[in-house]
Amino acid sequence: METRQPRYLFNRNEFAGAMGDLGTILPIALGMILVNGLDPVGLFFSMGVFYIASGVYYGITVPVEPMKVIGTYAIATAMTAPQIQASAFLMFLCLVVIGATGSMDKFGKYIPRSVIRGIQLSTGLLLMVKGMKMILGKALLKGAEQVAEPYLTIQSAGFIPITLIIGICGIVVTLVFLNNKKLPAALIVIALGLLFGLILGTKQGINTLKPGLYFPHLFPHGFPALPDFTFALFAVVLPQLPMTLGNAVIAQADLSKDYFGDNAEKMTYTALCFSMAAGNLLSFIFGGMPMCHGAGGLAAHYRFGAKTAGSNLIIGGIMAGLALVLGAGFIYVLFLIPMSILGVLLVFAGGQLALTISDMHTRNELFVIVTIVALTLAANLAIGAIFGIILAYGIRRVPI
């Protein structure tokens, strides 16, 4: 547990940490722009503002991520933009109700630490698997020619996928600079990715960039119709809600207190519900994607150097600023970063989160944790967490 520290720092380590969660954010954000037709300006502007507001309120590093159940389902099934906006509004309503009743704070007191660690380990492993798939060239970006690196001019060097070559380079660089304070690993890895993009990239759209002032539109996709709300509720909102409460509320608050100690005093379950509700209201108004916090994102930012709310202002300012200055052309800059480089960030971020189980020592605790992981891999995180709570209480008096 850390002692009181400055609320804001703006240095190379905070900058590097600010980039640490791009591996989670960009694949889903780009997919929802390319496949579902979301407005790039509204998406990155709302995310940037949410980052900044979260950092200012909580006073510590706070992650902002896509809601993964909604994002992956939306991309896989080509949901319409109004359906996605409806899901953001419904998540706003659900989180406001949960926050207003204080039910999460009351319920959270009875969740065993082994269950929280099981959620964190499961999330960490899922991130690592996703990152490895991106490095191995098995994570295809739907809607972009169904190739692993749609914005590179070559896909392989002989029989070796280009993703693997770039990914290995990224892993080696990360290991070399992982604990280097003067040359933070995330900055070096992102710079390496941009170098590959400039040398091997298609540079799609770069020559069309026109700096200016591009304000986001209100309801750029129109107001969702009643069928959009009905579909979104049953298709994505109800499946997303348990994962959000487990990972973005319970696990997020616990990890924040582990990392920041007394500095995380505002990081309550109720506050997290309200802040995520505000973020989804922003997305609903400006046509962005449903957003949440999350233990995985926090582990990513922290592992790569973010230790204060300064990292939130840095990444939030970059996202919102570039969206306002470059408009929809902002995505052409992002195309320069190979997917495999984002995969490297995911692998190390997932590993950081998975290692939080190191304070679990009894066989009963470890049994609960591995059971949650098994159920998460077999079904989903929500089922793993619910069954884990039941199991944790059920075996308290039964040695394993």
Task: Domain ranges for the chain, please list them.
Answer: 12-357
Q: How confident is the model at residue 4 (pLDDT cuts 50, 70, 90)?
A: low
Extract the runs of DSSP E, i.e. beta strands, from 48-101: 65-66
| Token couple for 213 | 């002032």
Share of the chain above pLDDT 90, in %: 76
Q: Does pLDDT of 88 surpass 80?
A: yes
Distance between CA 31 and CA 37 in Å, rounded?
9
- Quick one: pLDDT at residue 398? 78
What is 243-280 written as a DSSP string? Answer: HIIIIIIIIHHHHHHHHHGGGGTT--HHHHHHHHHHHH
- The contacts of residue 7 (CB under 8 Å, 6+ apart) are 59, 308, 309
Distance between CA 118 and CA 390 in Å, rounded?
13
The 10 Å Cβ neighbour count of residue 75 is 20
Burial of 153 (0-12, 13-18, 19+ CB in 10 A): exposed
- Quick one: pLDDT at residue 72? 84
Distance between CA 400 and CA 365 in Å, rounded?
9
Q: Does pLDDT of 2 surpass 50?
A: no
- pTM attached to this predicted model: 0.89
Q: pLDDT tens for residues 209-230?
A: 999 999 999 999 999 999 999 9
CA distances from 58 to 14, 61, 207, 312 (A): 16, 8, 40, 10
Q: pLDDT tens for residues 286-337?
A: 999 999 999 999 999 999 999 999 999 999 999 999 999 999 999 999 999 9
Cα four-point dihedral sign 333, 292, 339, 152? negative
Query: Which one, of 250, 322, 233, 241, lies nearest residue 51 by Cα?
Result: 322
Distance between CA 95 and CA 103 in Å, rounded?
11
- Identify the DSSP state of 362: S
In single-letter form, the type of residue at position 60 comes to I
Q: What is the dihedral of CA 311, 316, 318, 320, to 10 degrees?
A: -170
- Quick one: pLDDT at residue 34? 87
Distance between CA 122 and CA 117 in Å, rounded?
8
| Token couple for 340 | 């495999």
Least confident of 50-64, 143-157, 249-263: 143-157
Q: pLDDT tens for residues 36-74?
A: 999 999 999 999 999 999 999 999 999 999 998 899 889
Q: In angstroms, how far is CA 238 from the centroid of its own chain?
A: 19
Distance between CA 133 and CA 117 in Å, rounded?
24
Q: Any bridge partners for residue 65, and if so which?
A: 292
